[in-house]
Amino acid sequence: MTSTTSLFHPVEADVDLLTDNLKQLVSARHPILFAAAEYLFGAGGKRLRPAIVLLVSKATTPAQEITERHRRLAEITEMIHTASLVHDDVVDDSDMRRGLPTVHSSFGNRIAVLAGDFLFAQSSWYLANLDNLEVVKLLSEVIMDLAEGEIQQGLRRFDTSLSLEEYLEKSYYKTASLIANSAKAAGVLSDVPEDVAENLYEYGRNLGLAFQIVDDILDFTSSEEMLGKPAGSDLKNGNLTAPVLYAMQEFPGLETLIEREFKQEGDLPQALSIIDDSQGIALSRQLATEHTVRARECLAQLPKTESYQTLMDLTEYVTRRLH
């Protein structure tokens, strides 16, 4: 499988520079933040979101250059993403992420919440200093969407009435909004026409939805070692994802196990077995592929540069993670 490092070849050096800059931007204020920054930005994340911003920046500027404002937008994007992960881990009481201890398990809940708050606040400060109102609006909406997605997920735990449309809406808030709005913002900073900016948004939205659907499939098909968390943990926590929703349509008895929150012995293994026997995984793969096809169609107006090709290749990388 192609690694994200090799996939991001046109901006590989820029992504490395971004990681170094993030540590410096965040860690200068306090020793605890320094420790958290070293952990957060040295934890081996894929850097998918800022890489997309950098690729869109190169693909939409005449000389294929990345300006300082584009670089700062990429840094803001990763700050927002990381802040949301820190808060998510506190809400979900997750001890591991990417195979490493989470911030709250290393530093305690109080420091983790404050570190997340600090990252959101600092990203907002740097965002305001871009002096572009449209970009400020786009990324501010992302921060609202992330909170909305987390609230929706919390309110709909073990809720078997959740529809596929509602699942996709929650997935947009939690994952796709940041990718969509930051891709569009990169185009706005490049002064692209409005229709091109809208297509960049749709590219990010569809890519983000596909990415989340694939993540939700991997929660059932990958090992704990590969996931960096226990397999099936979303279902155990009552987060109903595409494979579960499709499986419930095929095997209504699954609803009973979910509604009693797997409280009887053997409930969770039985539920996992039902999902494995159903068409849930296959139908979810198909749904993810449909979104990657739409994402590719949204790039038609871009010049056929190396960065354009990488953005195209990213859509295939998302579904290749399943193999």
Instruction: Check whether 17 has a pLDDT greater than 70.
Output: yes
Query: Rounded CA gap, 31 and 297, in Å?
Result: 47
Averaged pLDDT score across all residues of the chain: 89
Overall pTM surpassing 0.75 (yes/no): yes
pLDDT at 89: 76
Give the tens place of pLDDT for each residue, 164-216.
Answer: 999 999 999 999 999 999 999 999 999 999 999 999 999 999 999 999 999 99
pLDDT at 149: 95
Burial of 64 (0-12, 13-18, 19+ CB in 10 A): middle
Positive or negative, the CA dihedral 283, 288, 293, 294 is positive
In sequence order, the 6+-apart residues with CB closer than 8 A to the CB of 89 are 97, 102, 103, 104, 105, 112
Give the tens place of pLDDT for each residue, 135-153.
Answer: 999 999 999 999 999 999 9
**CA-based nearest residue to 43, from 96, 115, 94:** 96
pLDDT-based confidence at 1, cuts 50/70/90? very low
Instruction: Check whether 254 has a pLDDT greater than 90.
Output: yes
Of 36-45, 85-94, 256-265, 296-305, the least confident? 36-45
Better-scored residue on pLDDT, 284 or 39: 284
Better-scored residue on pLDDT, 289 or 5: 289
Burial of 193 (0-12, 13-18, 19+ CB in 10 A): exposed
Hey, which of 7-16, 105-114, 251-260 has the most confident mean pLDDT? 251-260
Give the tens place of pLDDT for each residue, 220-237.
Answer: 998 655 655 667 889 999
